[in-house]
């Protein structure tokens, strides 16, 4: 049995904090390893709006059900994402709210086939054999400018418009998520996070913390703790997911 067919089991740690500045938490998340699904949603629109938008994502995804193929899993995900989109738009219209929406970053695993789907600037990372790879690309103004070479990475980090996103669920006629696929392997470690984490920690720092040898729970606590130490200007949510071959302990060796 090769790495692409090895059945995987997962150990997940999930933590969310309102941060040092915000009065409430507009982030929501779902960890559903039995369905091969992990989701982070970062709402926008203020109290009774952004938190409701991100909660709608979690509600819809919780009904995903057991897929029969990876393609079926992706189709089920997209159906629920579009349903969430319409529910969020209906909520905004009913309460006469201008901007209500949410980012989404979702990891789906069927067998060993993985899919990453996202809209906005919540992110998914993969740590494999000590190397950290960003599986997502921010849908934001500064990410677009950075890709075009119009600004530097340092300018992007300090830009006053770094939080202006260009895609979100609940905004516009269609959520327009982006998706990439690949193969999950035993020993992989995934991080799904809202931008409250990446506003304060660089990719280099994330790589060091994720590869520190600690288990998923301790690593998640470290990530949140360091963000709080640095001021935590936004809500912050992290999911750390460790993959192991069936029959192994995902926590062995961190």
Q: Does some domain include residue 253?
A: no
Q: What is the DSSP letter of 167?
A: -
The whole-number average pLDDT for the span 48-75 is: 96
The residue that leads in pLDDT, 244 or 251, is 244
The whole-number average pLDDT for the span 226-231 is: 97
Please say if the pLDDT value at position 254 is more than 50. no
Lowest model confidence (mean pLDDT) among 3-7, 119-123, 159-163: 3-7
Please say if the pLDDT value at position 2 is more than 60. no
Q: What is the domain-level CATH number for residue 73? A: 3.60.40.10
Helix (H, G, I), strand (E, B) or coil at 223: helix
Q: What is the DSSP letter of 87?
A: H
Please say if the pLDDT value at position 56 is more than 70. yes
Lowest model confidence (mean pLDDT) among 79-93, 150-164, 208-222, 230-244: 150-164
Q: Does some domain include residue 205?
A: yes
Distances (CA, A) of 94 to 17, 56, 58, 60: 29, 15, 21, 19
DSSP string, 20-86: TT-SS--EEEEEEGGGTEEEEEEEESSTTTHHHHHHHHHHHHTT----SSHHHHHHHHHHHHHHHHH
State the Cα–Cα distance between residues 168 and 120, nearest whole angstrom: 5
Q: Which of 46, 66, 48 lies closest to 108 in space, CA to CA?
A: 66
Q: What is the pLDDT of residue 251?
A: 60
Please say if the pLDDT value at position 252 is more than 50. no
pLDDT digits (tens, 9 = 90+) for 8-34: 999 999 999 999 999 899 999 999 999
The whole-number average pLDDT for the span 203-225 is: 98
The residue that leads in pLDDT, 45 or 100, is 100
Q: Does some domain include residue 140?
A: yes
Residue numbers of the domain that contains 150: 8-245
Strand partners, 193: 123, 238
Q: Does some domain include residue 94?
A: yes
Q: What is the pLDDT of residue 220?
A: 98
Tokens of 203: 């990719």
Question: What's this model's pTM, rounded to 2 decimal places?
Answer: 0.92
Please say if the pLDDT value at position 242 is more than 80. yes
Q: Does some domain include residue 251?
A: no
Q: Does some domain include residue 91?
A: yes
Q: What is the pLDDT of residue 92?
A: 95
The whole-number average pLDDT for the span 215-220 is: 98
pLDDT tier at 253 (50, 70, 90 boundaries)? very low
Give the number of domains in the chain. Answer: 1
The whole-number average pLDDT for the span 142-165 is: 75
Helix (H, G, I), strand (E, B) or coil at 168: coil
Looking at every residue in the chain, the average pLDDT score rounds to 92
The residue that leads in pLDDT, 131 or 98, is 131
Q: What is the pLDDT of residue 150?
A: 81
Q: Does some domain include residue 14?
A: yes
The whole-number average pLDDT for the span 127-140 is: 96
Helix (H, G, I), strand (E, B) or coil at 116: strand
């Amino acid at each position: 049995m090769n790495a692409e067919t090895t059945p995987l089991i997962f150990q997940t740690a999930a933590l969310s904090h309102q941060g040092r500045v915000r009065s409430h938490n507009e982030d929501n998340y779902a960890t559903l390893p039995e369905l091969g699904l992990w989701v982070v949603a970062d709402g926008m629109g203020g109290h009774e709006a952004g938190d409701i938008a991100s909660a709608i994502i979690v509600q819809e995804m919780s009904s995903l059900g057991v897929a029969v193929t990876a393609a079926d899993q992706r189709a089920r995900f997209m159906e629920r994402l579009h349903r969430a989109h319409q529910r969020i738009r209906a909520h905004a219209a009913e309460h006469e709210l201008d901007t209500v929406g949410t980012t989404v970053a979702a990891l789906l695993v069927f067998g060993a086939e993985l899919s990453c789907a996202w809209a906005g600037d919540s992110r998914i990372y993969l740590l494999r054999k000590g190397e950290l790879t960003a599986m997502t690309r921010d849908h934001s103004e500064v990410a677009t400018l950075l890709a075009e070479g119009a600004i530097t990475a340092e300018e992007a980090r300090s830009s006053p418009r770094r939080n202006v996103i260009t895609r979100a669920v609940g905004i516009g006629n269609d959520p327009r998520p982006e998706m990439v696929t690949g193969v999950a392997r035993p020993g992989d470690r995934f991080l799904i996070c809202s931008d409250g984490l990446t506003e304060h920690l660089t990719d280099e720092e994330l790589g060091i913390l994720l590869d520190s040898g600690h288990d998923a729970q301790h690593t998640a606590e470290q990530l949140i703790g360091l963000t709080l130490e640095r001021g935590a200007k936004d809500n912050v949510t992290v999911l750390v997911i460790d993959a192991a071959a069936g029959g192994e302990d995902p926590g062995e060796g961190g």
